Every structure is written in C-alpha cells, then in structure tokens.
Chain A
Amino acid sequence: MRREERGMKRAALIMIFAVCVSGICAARAQAAVWGWGKTVEIEWEPSVELQSLNYVEAVENNEYEDSFVSDSWVRVLNQFWIEDYDLFLKADGQLRYDLWRGLENESRGDASFREVYGELRKEKYRFSVGEQIVTWGKMDDITIVDRVNPQDYRHFILYDKQERKIPELMIRHEYFGDGYGFETVYTPYFEPSKVDYFGQNFAVFGHLKEAVDLGGYTAAQKTVVQGIGIADEDGVRDNALDNGQIAFRYRNRVEDVDYSLYYMNQRNANPVLKEATPVGNTVKAFLYNPNLTTLDTLVAASPTAEDLTLREAHPRINTIGADWETVLGECGVRGEMALMMDMPFLNEDFSYTEKNVAFFGAGLDHTFEGDTYVDIQYVQQYIFGYDPLYAQEEKPFFFAGTLTHGFARGKFSMNLDWTWNASYGDWMLNPELVYKPVDGLDIALGSFVFQDGSSSTLFGRYNGDDVIYVSVKSVF
C-alpha cells in the first residue's frame, strides 16, 4: 500500500474520532487523567473551522473547463497542554471535499491530517516531532527563505501562502539564548508540492488532453497526446532516509533590526519536468506551446511510451539566506535574500538544466489613519551562468502589494492584492470585499484577474481564466 493511501485511511479514522470528540466538547475543557500514581491535568482546547471557496470562470474559454468549482473543508483543531510535563500536543485533521465534482468522482474528497505533533517546551529550548508547518522569512506571501513546507498549487494562488502549505513530518528543535535563537528542522522524508498537470482549470497544461481527444484531430495525434504521462523521478517519494532534508535558522537582533540567517539542504519541492529521452523535449515543446506544428513534430518522432513519460525532477538544492525587519519612520521595512544552488530550469530546447540563482526581496508597509493599509514588495532574481532558458530571463524582477481598507470597526474590509511581473509583462489583481456579520464568520466576494504576458508566463498562462469567487469561513 502506498504511503499516500495509508495516510488517507489513517487520516479518515482520525477525522472521525476528532469530529466526534470535538462535537462532544464544544468549549475548553480540563481533564484529569490518573496514571503513574498521580493526577495529570490536561488542558484541552478544541475548535472547528469551516471554509468553502466557490468560484466560477468569468469567461468560458472551452467546453472542457469546469465552469463552477467548490472547494470546502471542515477542520477540527485540537490543542492539549500538559503543564506537569511541559508538553504541548496538537492534533488537527480536515475533511476536504470538492462538493460538486465529488459527486462524480470520489477522488475529489480528501481526509487528512493537518498539523499533528507533540512539543516539549522548556525555558531554554523547544523540541517537537510530527506533522508541522514552519513559517520562516519576513516578507508577505513571497517564498524566498520560507521553503520548509511544500505547497498545494491545485487551486493555483487562490489560497494564500500559509493556507497552501502542506504540513510535513519533521523533527524540530529550537534553542533560546540571551536575545538570540537557533533552530534546526530535520524532515526525514520528502514531500513535493501538489500540482495538477491535466484536466483542471488551474492545471499546468489545463484541459489540453481533453481538447485533443474530443477535437478534430487524427487518431495518431490523439493516441500520442493521450500517451503523455508525468511520473515521479525514481525514488524521490520513497520513505528513505536519503530523501531527508535539513534546515537551520539563526536569529538575532542588532540595534533596531531583527535578522535571521539560514542554511537549507532540501529537495526542490516544486517540480520541473525532466525528459527521459531526447524525444521528451519534443513532448515538452508541445505541452508548453501546443499548436499543430509542435503536435505534428511530436507525432512524426514516433514517440515510445518512455519518450512520452516525463519525470518530475526535485533536485537537491543548497540554500544560503537571510532576512531582516525594522521600522523606518512610520513604515515597516523588511527583506529577504538567498543564494540557491542547482535550481532546475528548462533550456530553450526544453531540455532540463540546473543553475545557481540569487534572490533579493524588499518590502515596505504603512498603515494610514482611517484603517488603510498599504504594502509594497519588490523581488529581483539573478541566474548565474545564464544561457537562454525557456520562459526565464537572466534578471527578472517583479512587484507585489496589498491595499486594504477597513470600515465599521472591521465589519467590512476592501482588499486588493496585486502582482506585476515587470520583466514579463503579466500581472494579477485580486480585489475582494469581506463582510463579518458576527465574530467568527467571514463572507468574501472577490475576483482573480490574470492578464497580459505570453502563455509561458506565470499569469499569462491563465489569461482568460479569470475567476469570481465567494468564500465563507467560520471558526467556532
């Protein structure tokens, strides 16, 4: 039985347990457990989180698209504190379901753990083991040094970074010195980011297979396209210790500046497609630039099953990084930087390659009187030893930001998130109106607009896939 399948069954059982138990106990509880000849006080704080994200495509581009998507979950959060042993336990599970498509395809349902771990809390250190989420770095919704957990991109960026993070099994230790701290995170197994390649609106290659299969193409063309597959690189998901990853953080403060230094040795969580044979590059040429010319070239190459099977590459990357944060006048300022060695890319001919890359990011935020908040961030990337790469310039940069305005003491807020990839010309806007009728309930109406740039750019790829959404979130 695969690790994932085992995890599903285990999580389902835990979920049933957690839902039942939390249902019984709706408020904080203190339990007394007798054992080892004495009474142990356990403080228990359960809570439940419900969320439903429902979105429609603003424009229907083809008949294969899902015109309506609903992603909903119930999350049961349990925290236990056993003071006598300085022990903190967290056991969160979630039942996630794509309500509409789930009726047609049971695989859209997903019962899983969220965070489940135990933590020993001492004055000078913390030590924890289990499925955890780590948050490093200082910038908002940008991943330069915040790289410990993989992310779930199946709904692209419709969820923010914290929500996209996938908890991972890890051993974590943090030592607290006088004003400084040193943290070590060891992840024994590798878990990649979740990405759909085909058959979903935000899949990397969208509905390409359906379009060819149901379109006016020849049998040979259809056979070749249907034969295209994506497979794991050998052994990368095995529960083997040589897939282990380690990350360190040292943090301190100089004058008025908080800073951290990082070293990470990890597999790259986001996959880059690697060819098994040279013909695999022709497959990628078609996938990334689907037209009759690239399709005919692929068919003419008479690809074998091996040629048509691309591998998800997750090369091991060494990262040296830093972040900092302070205030300047009435603005908060912060930044991150990193040097990453052997990051994966595609050459212009779509063959796989690795390069060293430097990232530098800086951000500034300010809150105006009247509850208006502005945040602007800039990120510059530099690729060492640059040769022409597919969809990747040598020194690309982008800007991202947030503008929020609250009304009626937080009952309403208008938010605008945006990103402009200045080097490629594509951009994204995410306007949103949030209403909080009562404490614990958020109702949001918003949109994601992806515009400009070529089809090889991050947002240009989804040009025409703008969505309008309603999101409901309740915590109790």
Chain B
Amino acid sequence: MIKKYALVPVLCFLFCSLASAEMMSGLELAKKIYNREDGTDRFMNVNMVLVDKRGNERPRTMEIFSKDDGVLAKTYVEFLIPEDIKGTKFLSWEQSRDDDIQYLYLPALGRARRIVSSQKKLRFVNTDYTYEDMQRRKPNEDKHQILNEEDYNGRPCYILESVPLNENSQYGRRVSWVDKSSLVSLHTDFYDTKGRRVKIFEVLSMKIVQGYWTVISSRMEDLKEEHQTLMTVTEVRYDQGLGDEKFETRFLEQR
C-alpha cells in the first residue's frame, strides 16, 4: 500500500524502498520518498535516550503503532518507561486535506485531551523532535532541489534541499542526504528561517525487515541546546493486520 504517513519524526524518510538511477527533479525525488511502500500497518518498540550537554541520560521506552487506510493515516504512541510517564499516550489522525487531529492522554488527567496539531514548534515530550518533525510534510509544501550527489558513509546519496513554500514550518530549509538505493534520508541538516543550522538528524544503522528498509538507530541533535535524542528500534513488525480500535480515543482512555 502507498504510504501516506510516517510515524516517527524525520524517520519519515526511513522505510523507503524504490530507487531510481535516472535523473529526476527534486520534487520527483520528494514524491518517491513520500510514496514509498512500507506495508499497511506497522509496530515498533523503541528505546529513546535523552542526553543533555553534560552527558546525563534519561531513558524512555515506547510502543508505536501506525496504519493507513488511504483516507486517514493513524499513529498511536504509548510510553512504557519511565514509571512517572508510563501510560502517557498520543494519538494522531493525519488527514490528507485538513489539519491533523491529535489527542494526548495523561494518566494524571484521566482522559484524552485534544491537542493542537498546528503548534509545530513545540517539543514532543521534551525530546529533540518537535511536533512538526512528528508529521510528514507533503511534497508540494516545499520547493525541492537536488543540489548534488555524493557518498555519505560509503553509500551513494542525493543531496536534496527542501524549502517551505509558505510559513507553515519552523524551518527555513532542510538539506538531506538521501540514500539512492533505499531512499532513506541518512542525514538531514535543519536550518532556521535566519539560515542558521539548528538541528542534525542522522541514521546510525538500518536494515531490511520483512522487505522494508527500516532505520534501527538514529540520532537527533539540537545544536543550540547541545542536547540529543538517541532512538533505537528493538522490535519491529509490519503487516500484522492491526484493528482500528487501537486508533480510537477509547483505546487511549483504556486503563
């Protein structure tokens, strides 16, 4: 099935397959990245470590489920560790035309709360990912240009520049090293609207799981705060036939 949604940040480029050695425009490349095959649904168990500039580490573990049915792309995230945020849940319905619908369940509140998806600059649970990073940008929201081709960590890559066409992004531009064979973005530099590089995303390892390229470990660094978020996928499953009930608010409120 054509994927319309990716679940975790920047990892939007992750599971790409398809490759083309032919010359193509930046927009064509962006569309190929966006419309890559990655199954009808997916499950991941992810270990996340927040590392501050002094090297202090704060571990997090979460489960991520996602599914798309051609109309809605749905994602469900539940934190398992540490104990004080265990049970915090996040549900997102990405709509093709309208703004996304997002809910957050906090155990202390006892109910699912609607949150504003358009507040893209906010950090997702104190990580280095913002809510914008959590959402996949549609190819036609940016002007894309292939700047060059070069090897990155020994893999041939396109260097793709993406500049927002309107003011709906916190970034002024993004420059990504996109692996030609997998179409996974191995490295992305994020620039603010003043042209300063503010964040770096890089893939540390990836492999093919059930026929889909999957990033196994990655790093997102906030250069201003000297803070980074390391993510490691410890378990991944595709095409499990996930039911819709997982992506309803009632599941969010289930104790």
Contact = CB atoms under 8 A, between A and B. Distances in A.
B122 A162 contact: no
Contacts of A137: 111
Instruction: Name the residue among B83, B84, B109, B250 with the largest chain A CB count within 10 angstroms.
Output: B84
Counting from the closest, the 5 A-B pairs by CB-CB distance are A135-B110, A439-B82, A409-B126, A410-B126, A475-B83
Contacts of A331: 116
Contact of A326 (B114, B243, B245): B114
Interface in A351-395: 366-367, 369, 371
A332 B116 contact: yes
B118 interface: yes
A138 B250 CA distance: 14
A284 interface: no
Contacts of B117: 327
Interface in B17-62: 50, 52, 58-59
Instruction: Name the residue among A258, A409, A440 with the largest chain B CB count within 10 angstroms.
Output: A409
Interface string A427-451: 0000000000001111000000000
B242 interface: no
A409 B225 CA distance: 10
Contact of B111 (A121, A135, A441): A135
Instruction: Name the residue among A47, A90, A133, A369 with the largest chain B CB count within 10 angstroms.
Output: A369
Contacts of B227: 409
Contacts of B255: 79, 88, 90
B113 to A, nearest CB: 7
A176 B248 contact: yes
Contacts of A326: 114
Interface residues of A, number: 41
Given A47-B83, A371-B122, A475-B84, 20 more contacts: A88-B255, A126-B254, A137-B111, A160-B108, A162-B110, A176-B248, A176-B250, A181-B250, A258-B114, A327-B114, A329-B118, A330-B119, A332-B113, A332-B116, A409-B52, A409-B123, A439-B59, A439-B82, A440-B84, A476-B83
B194 to A, nearest CB: 15
A442 B84 contact: yes
A367 B249 contact: no
- The number of chain B residues touching the other chain, given as a range, is 35 or more
21 contacts: A88-B255, A90-B255, A121-B254, A123-B243, A138-B111, A162-B110, A256-B101, A325-B113, A325-B114, A327-B114, A330-B118, A366-B116, A367-B122, A406-B126, A410-B126, A439-B84, A439-B85, A440-B83, A440-B84, A441-B84, A475-B83
Given A123-B245, A367-B116, A367-B122, A409 B110 contact: no
B207 interface: no
Interface of A: 47, 79, 88, 90, 121, 123, 126, 133, 135-138, 140, 160, 162, 174, 176, 181, 256, 258, 325-327, 329-332, 334, 366-367, 369, 371, 406, 409-410, 439-442, 475-476
B115 interface: yes
A369 B52 contact: no
A276 B111 CA distance: 41
A258 to B, nearest CB: 7
Contacts of B253: 135
A181 B254 CA distance: 13
Contacts of A162: 108-110
B155 interface: no
Contacts of B115: 327, 332
Contacts of A160: 108
Contacts of B237: none
Contacts of B249: 258
Contact of B121 (A369, A439, A441, A475): A369
Instruction: Name the residue among A90, A140, A440 with the largest chain B CB count within 10 angstroms.
Output: A440
A137 B86 CA distance: 23
A162 B255 CA distance: 14
Contacts of A409: 50, 52, 123, 126, 227
Contact of B114 (A47, A126, A174, A334): A334
